[in-house]
Amino acid sequence: MTFNITHPMTRRGFAAFTGGLLASAQAIVAQAAETPLLTRAIPGSGERIPAVGLGTASVFNVNSAATRGKAGAVVQALIDSGGRLIDTASSYGDAESVLGDVTAAAGLRGKLFIATKLESPDPQELKRSLARLKTASVDLLQLHNVADTQQSLQRFREWKQQGLCRYVGITSTFRDDYPAIEAVLKREKPDFVQIDYSIDNREAEKTILPLAAEVGAAVLTALPYGRARLFRTVQGKALPDWAREFANSWGQFFLKYLLGDPRVTAVIPGTSDAGHMTDNAGAMRGPLPDAAQRRHMVEFVAAL
């Protein structure tokens, strides 16, 4: 699950105060032609996907002309920046419909890695999602908010065999669900697991990330900005000089902390702002923080 990070008093207000977002976007454009794009392999197949994607929870949930306009600009910014992955869900209001309308109108389906989520292994729910997304299949089909330790992915695997999806996965952004996520990861060994993870919410480092590496599951990290909590923490503060070795903005700082862990396949921050999407995608360019720098980053944020 991902959330809007463009509230006026959060990221947008911060960027307006510092003027850093425009400079960052310009830096990304200049940098893109000179530095390789960070991609990560899906363990089960070896297919590589760009390491920064787009989340759609709470940002594209109302299907209106205004929303479709913003969505189209954001999706194009993702593609222009080298990205492909978009994560949505049947429960995200009209997000699937908005995404389907935008991608179909612009003929973008072939350029994207589409992931969606179902609340249950219900054929009717899957049928509705595919219809809303205007596609015959998705790249990743995930069981949303797994809370049952005995949850089976048999039906999802049947759909995979039928060509309705290429990968299957499980998700949760609730701490109380972690035991269920661990149990299902161990037993079912899905292709993907999606979990909440940010520089100030590192619970996933204790069990989920090691277990995902053990069973060969790709990892998507939701809520990388902590529902905009991290932007509120650094509002009015300049990016420290030592961080500029690897980040052009606070957004990239927070994303690169996560990408500094090689067990993370991709981060999926949500946004309805094309400029923010370009800035987020900048985390796929340039160096990543090493282990010592990541420890410094944690200490720095904890002290704010």
Please give the backbone phi and psi of residue 43, each rounded to the nearest 5 degrees, phi first.
Answer: -55, -40
Residues 64, 33 contacting (CB under 8 angstroms): no
224: amino acid identity, one letter = P
What CATH number is associated with residue 105?
3.20.20.100
**Per-residue model confidence (pLDDT) at position 218:** 98
Long-range contacts of 14-20 (CB under 8 A, 24+ apart): 14/231, 14/234, 14/235, 14/236, 14/250, 15/276, 17/235, 17/236, 18/236, 18/238, 20/239, 20/248, 20/249, 20/250
The answer to whether residue 230 sits within a structural domain is yes
pLDDT digit string, tens, across residues 77-122 = 999 999 999 999 999 999 999 999 999 999 999 999 999 999 999 9
- CA–CA gap between residue 137 and residue 226 (Å, rounded): 31
The answer to whether residue 4 sits within a structural domain is no
Q: Look at the chain and report how many structural domains it folds into.
A: 1
**Both tokens of residue 6?**
């463009």
The answer to whether residue 269 sits within a structural domain is yes
- CA–CA gap between residue 5 and residue 44 (Å, rounded): 32
Residues 6+ apart with CB under 8 A from 163: 137
- CA–CA gap between residue 62 and residue 115 (Å, rounded): 19
**Per-residue model confidence (pLDDT) at position 34:** 67
Hey, CA dihedral for 159, 164, 169, 173, is it positive or negative? Answer: negative
DSSP secondary structure of 184-200: HHHHH--SEEEEE-BTT
Q: Taking the CA of residue 28 as centre, how many other CA atoms within 13 Å lie in the half-sphere pointing to its CB? A: 28
pLDDT digit string, tens, across residues 163-216 = 999 999 999 999 999 999 999 999 999 999 999 999 999 999 999 999 999 999
User: What mean pLDDT value characterizes the chain?
Assistant: 92
The answer to whether residue 1 sits within a structural domain is no
What is the pTM (predicted TM-score) of this model? 0.90
**Per-residue model confidence (pLDDT) at position 35:** 84
Domain interval for residue 145: 11-302
Please give the backbone phi and psi of residue 206, each rounded to the nearest 5 degrees, phi first.
Answer: -75, -45
The answer to whether residue 6 sits within a structural domain is no
**Per-residue model confidence (pLDDT) at position 112:** 98
- CA–CA gap between residue 285 and residue 264 (Å, rounded): 16
The structure tokens 């200049």 sit at 30
